[in-house]
Structures are given as C-alpha cells and as structure tokens.
Amino acid sequence: MSAPIKVPTMAEYMAQGKNPEVLFWVGCAGSFDDRAKKITKAFARLLNEAGVEFAVLGTEEGCTGDPAKRAGNEFLFQMQAMMNIQVLNGYEIKKIVTTCPHCFNTIKNEYPELGGTYEVMHHTQFLKSLLNEGRLKVEGGKFKGKRITFHDPCYLGRANNEYEAPRELLQKLEVELIEMKRCKTRGLCCGAGGAQMFKEPEKGNKDINVERTEEALETQPEIIAAGCPFCNTMMTDGVKSKEKEDSIEVMDVAEMIANAKDL
Amino acid sequence: MQYIPNILFLLALILGIGYFTRNIRKVIRNIKLGQEVDSSDNKGQRWNNVIRIALGQSKMVVRPIAGLLHIVVYLGFIIINIEVLEIIIDGLFGTHRAFAFMGGFYGFLIASFEILAVLVFVSVIVFWIRRNIQRLKRFLSPEMKGWPKNDGNIILYFEMVLMTLFLVMNATDISFQEMNSGNIVSKHIAGWFGGTSVETLHIIERTAWWLHILGILVFLNYLYFSKHLHIILAFPNVYHGRLAPKGQFKNLESVTNEVKLMMDPNADPFAAPAEGAEAPAKFGASDVMDLSRIQLLNAYTCTECGRCTSECPANQTGKKLSPRKIMMDTRDRLEEVSKNIDKNGTFEPDGKQLLDDYITREELWACTTCNACVQACPVSIDPLSIIMDMRQYLVMEQSAAPSELNVTMTNIENNAAPWPFNQMDRANWINES
C-alpha cells in the first residue's frame, strides 16, 4: 500500500536510551503466517497514524507458550514464559498490546505469577483508547452500512470478558452489525483453541469452523469480522469450504479500520 | 400405647437423619481424597457469588423456560419445607397442626404452600415432558442412558407424589377444612372426597401425613445416590468456584521450581536431591486423588443438566467429548474408590483409574479450551480444569501427546514458534511490502 511502515525494535529504543509508550507483541502467527502478517501490518500502520511510540521485540520475541500449556506441556510453557519475562523485564516493559487474544490472555493472566506483571491490552482495546483520546479518527468510509457480523474470540470474550471493544470499533465504522445466534458469552469457538490449530480434529460429523461459519453465514454478512489471527484462519477456511470466498471476506477489525482510512 | 406413633415417628426421624448424616460424612471424606487447594481468598466476592448465582439462580435464567420452571421448584422446595417443621413438632409431641394458633398468618402460610405445591407439581410435569416426550437433545446423550435417565425421572416422581400427598393431607383434614383459612387449593380437592365417612377421611389424612414425612426422609437419603445432591452442594460449590478470569489456567508450582533451577546459571545440574527431600510431585491427573478437592466437589455437585455439553463445540460437531460426562465419570470413579475404602479401610489399588477406564484420550484431546462449558454451568462447575489436568498427565508423565502436537512442541522448543520458522526471521514482516 502507501508509505512504508515504521516499526522500531526495543533494541533500537534501548540504544537511544528511550522507552516506547507501548510494546507491540506481534506473536507467532502475526510474525510468520501470511494472512496474519497483514493484520500485523494494518495495526502497525494505525499505530504510526496515531503517532504512538511503539516498539516490537523482533527476533527477541518467542512463543508465549500458550499452545504448549493448553496441550498439557507445562514445562515448555513455563520455559517460554520465563525466557520472555527475562527479556520483557530486562527492557523494563510496562505496557503491552497484542493482536492475538491467546498471547493477550497468557501474558496478562499467566505471566504475573511467574514474575512478569504488565498492563496488557488486546489491540481492539488499545484502538478504542486511541479513539477515546482523540489520537485516531475513524469514519465509516467504505464500510458504512455494510452487513457485518463479529465472531468473538474465546480468549478475548469468555476468557477475559471483553465483548464491547471490538463492537465499539465496528460501530465507529458505521457498519450494520448483525449478531450471530450465538454471540458474546455464548459465542461458539472457531475450533482453533487449546492447541487444536496444530492438530487434526478428533473424529466427528463436522469441523467446528464449518459449524461456526454456517452460523455466520445465517446473518448474510458481507464481511465476517474477527479479532484473532487463528479465528481468522478458521473462519476463512470455513468460508472457502462453503465456496463463498468471492462474496464474503474475513477481516480483522484492525484491518477494517486501516482500510477505511486508506492506510 | 398412646405414645406408639410418637415413638415410631422419633425412630423414623433418627433413622432418616442418621443415615443421611452418615452419607454426607462419606461425601466429605471422599472430597478430602483430593488435593488441598486454597480458596480462602476474597470472601466478599465468594459470598456475593453464593447470593447471586446459587441463591439468586442468576445463571439458570440464561435459558428462560427451564430457568423459570426451576425457580418455581426451588422456591417451592425451600418454602414448603417450613411446613416440615410443623410436621416434626406434631409427630414428636402428638399435637395437631401446632402452628395453627397463629390464626390468620397460619392461613396465609398454608395458602402459599398450597399454591406453590400446585405450581411445583405443574413444573415437574413439564420437566417430565421435556425429558420423556419432547426428548430434548441434551437429555439424550450417550452418558444419559440407564441410571442417569432413571435418576432424573425418579426425582420428578418423588416430587409429584410429595406434592400430591401434601394437598391430600390438607384436603382430608376435617378440622383444617372447617377452619376454612389457607385451604385455598385443598378445599377444591376436599370436594372430591364428599360423602366419605369421617373415619375414612381420618385414615386417608393420617396415611397421607405419614407417607408425606416418610417420603421426605426417604428423598433426603436418596440424595447421596443421585444427581440431586446439587440442592445442598450447589452452595459450597459456588462459594469455592473460580474467581480468576476464565482464561487464567493455573501454573504448576512444582514445574516453576524445576524451570527456575534449569535457568539458574549457578545451579549444579548434577546435584543429588537434598537428604529427606520429598519425592517429585506427579504432574497432572490420571485418577481422582490427583484432582483438587474443588474438582471433586464439582463432580458431586453436577446435576447432569447438560448445559455444558450442549454448548461444547466439540460435542456439537459429533466428537466424543462431553463436559457433563467428564463430571459424571469423575463422580463414578470417586464412588468406586469410596466403596474400595469402605471395604478395605484404606484404598487398595484396583488396577483402574479415571484415565482410560472412564475418560478416554480421544475425549481429552477434542477440547478447544473455549470455556463454553464453564460459562454455561449454573453452579460454577469447571469441567475444563479436569481436562487440562489430565492432558498434563498425558504429556508430562507419559509423553503421549498426539504426534502433530509433538511436532508443534518441538518447534516451540527449537525455534520459539509452533511452526518451523527461524526465530531470526521473526521481524522479516517489517520489510516485506
């Protein structure tokens, strides 16, 4: 798209003897998955646009350990956690924002007991605060009046009781938000959590992401909005399996905002 | 001779309450087989939960029909039981309607009992229809075959019979009907007995009275063998329920110590364990004794309503996992261990465990940890925590993760991402246009 994004690393900040306002925790999907990288970049552009002084850890970042922990490998989880905490504490990080609800949940809830206490925000919460502070302006633009449904990520919603931040952002985009039959506290999982992303599902009569996509399609949306790179993959696959990829897009809320602003 | 009914009543009361106490003590003993956990924090929040979730039934009404019917039966149960106090006094001292001296207020009380009795009766009929005629999906799961199905119906029959006896007892009580205060429902039933002789009416009244109180005592003792134990345990269970965000899974302290040691440059990796050091703790859970006391309390509290299972994404898409079955299996295994202890004094290994003999690996690996089951439970049961503890056992004690997950974990270990990408490439996205 337009101007190149400015993404300094913590090491660069450190070299200048400065501290950023917030650390952007990119996460593994956000770093390596082609689809998720677009979300990462969209969010970074928004941070640039709002003039937020942020940094990433870059090559010093490692998996939070979420999939290891939910798979039952507490050892590996705690190894990852301790290594990350050493890096984060070494840089004296106070505030973290991430586009992945799994990283968000793990760092926010499971790191403090292991010595890593930070203010942790999901990117939809952070974007909301930028809007409230007037640092970022959002208008409907191309999304105005579009039929959009929002899929709640389990680790943002039920796990951490945040249902409103992504919806408030969508409202700012002036979309026609149509809720699925099961939403918020009763939202159905996309099927990726608990390390399911990395294995074949057990025998059943349907894939969970297809079940969820069918519910989303019932709302006849033009876009399925998501707030998690894994949900995004699962829903995208679901839409493809229903052969609707030409008419329905799966987009992260941050991508929609960046898109509305032609960033 | 005239004291024989009083003595019989006293005996029935002692027997009923005594046997019940014995079984409740057994429940407590069995729960204490689990690992101790500290839930002494945040007393204010915990009592608040008891008032809101348990007493106030706040999570029941998420499903309005079942929720409202349940509130009727719940209120009926609590309020009509005030009458039991009078029955006990009458039974012990040979009085008749000892509280009748309260006059108008007594009439008001009985009238509300009678109305509630009818409402409970109707609600219970609807419950029965939902289970047996409408056949709601969540009552038809594989784990609901046999005893669990019968158990559900037996409870409903009990309640129908008890409510009927209460109304018949009032309707055939000549002096009560002559008082004509509070017999708001029973006066209509009394009409059906028109023409019956005074002696016969008296016999029917006495029979209904005795069957009513004996029925209550039998029902009380049925609880231990039934899912209906929730009427007592829901309260402590909600009190001890989780307060932390649902996404926060507990960190194993034993692992923390080992990881700290591994990361300590000054630690001697070859050091022998200190003299008299405790044997390393078992990681995760393969049997009920490895679970926490709260998880075991959860298992006894579960009333098998199936709201968890009907919200579970794995179950909805035909996988074997059912969070309700996890709880039922845990209780069944705990009861098996309990019988073993009753027989042998202490637990003699029986070559069985919760894992594999009750809960299969296929069920455990189907979970997405989405917390829908935890959210759905009206009495704060946490099936997910049991699934997680058992996964920990499989992975850390048995290295028995599905092979794709082993690959994922090796990747995390080697290159700090679940996929085989080099950590040095982690920031490459910045410069890719």
Find the CATH number of the domain harbouring A216: 3.40.50.2300
Three-state secondary structure of B357-393 = HCECHHHHHCCCCCCHHHHHCCCCCCHHHHHHHHHHH
Check: complex ipTM more than 0.90: yes
- A62 within some domain: yes
> Are B418 and A110 a contacting pair at CB < 8 A?
no
- Segment B61-74 mean pLDDT: 96
Residues A190 and A84 reside in one and the same domain: no
> Are B369 and A193 a contacting pair at CB < 8 A?
yes
> Are A109 and B388 a contacting pair at CB < 8 A?
no
With 0-12 / 13-18 / 19 or more C-beta atoms within 10 angstroms meaning exposed / middle / buried, residue B7 is exposed
The residue out of A131, A152, A177 marking a domain boundary is A131
Q: Which residues in chain A are closer than 8 Å to B395, comparing Cβ atoms?
A: 71-73
Residues A113 and A213 reside in one and the same domain: no
Task: Please answer whether residues A153 and A231 qualify as being in contact, where contact means their C-beta atoms are separated by less than 8 angstroms.
Answer: yes
Q: Which residues in chain B are closer than 8 Å to A68, comparing Cβ atoms?
A: 408-409, 412
Residue A2 has pLDDT above 70, yes or no: no
The residue out of A98, A116, A131 marking a domain boundary is A131
Residues B193-229 have pLDDT tens digits of 988 899 999 999 999 999 999 999 999 999 999 999 9
The CATH class of B253-262+281-422 is mainly alpha
The strand pairing partners of A55, in sequence order, are A23
Residue B358 has pLDDT above 90, yes or no: yes
Q: Which residues in chain B are closer than 8 Å to A211, comparing Cβ atoms?
A: 313, 316-317
- A71 within some domain: yes
Q: What is the pLDDT of residue A242?
A: 97
- A1 within some domain: no
- A4 within some domain: no
- A3 within some domain: no
- Residue A82, chain B, CB below 8 Å: the answer is yes
Which of B38, B243, B251 to mutate: most A Cβ within 10 Å? B251
Residue type for B67, please? Answer: G
* A161, HSE (Cβ side, Cα atoms, 13 Å): 7
Residue A230 has pLDDT above 60, yes or no: yes
CATH number of the domain that residue A121 is part of: 3.40.50
A110 → closest Cβ in B251, B258, B374:
B251
Q: Which residues in chain A are closer than 8 Å to B369, comparing Cβ atoms?
A: 70, 154, 193-194
Residues A104-160 have pLDDT tens digits of 999 999 999 999 999 999 999 999 999 999 999 988 789 999 999 999 999 999 999
The strand pairing partners of A122, in sequence order, are A98
Look up the domain containing A78 and give its range.
10-131
- A5 within some domain: no
Domain count, chain A: 2
Q: What is the dihedral of CA B181, B182, B184, B187, to 10 degrees?
A: -60
Residue B276 has pLDDT above 60, yes or no: yes
B396-415 residues touching A, CB cutoff 8 A: 396, 401-402, 404-405, 407-409, 412-413
Evaluated on CA atoms A258, A226, A229, A12, the torsion sign reads positive
Residue A1 has pLDDT above 60, yes or no: no
Residues A115 and A148 reside in one and the same domain: no
- How many other C-beta atoms lie within 10 A of the C-beta of residue A92? 9
Residues A6-51 have pLDDT tens digits of 999 999 999 999 999 999 999 999 999 999 999 999 999 999 999 9
- Segment B354-371 mean pLDDT: 98
The residue out of A131, A146, A163 marking a domain boundary is A131
- Residue A40, chain B, CB below 8 Å: the answer is yes
A208 → closest Cβ in B262, B317, B429:
B317
- A28 within some domain: yes
Residues A165 and A208 reside in one and the same domain: yes
| Token pair for A6 | 């400015």
Q: What is the pLDDT of residue B267?
A: 79
Q: What is the pLDDT of residue B80?
A: 85
Q: Among A232-241, B86-95, B257-266, whose mean pLDDT is lowest?
A: B257-266
Residues A62 and A168 reside in one and the same domain: no
Residue type for A15, please? Answer: A
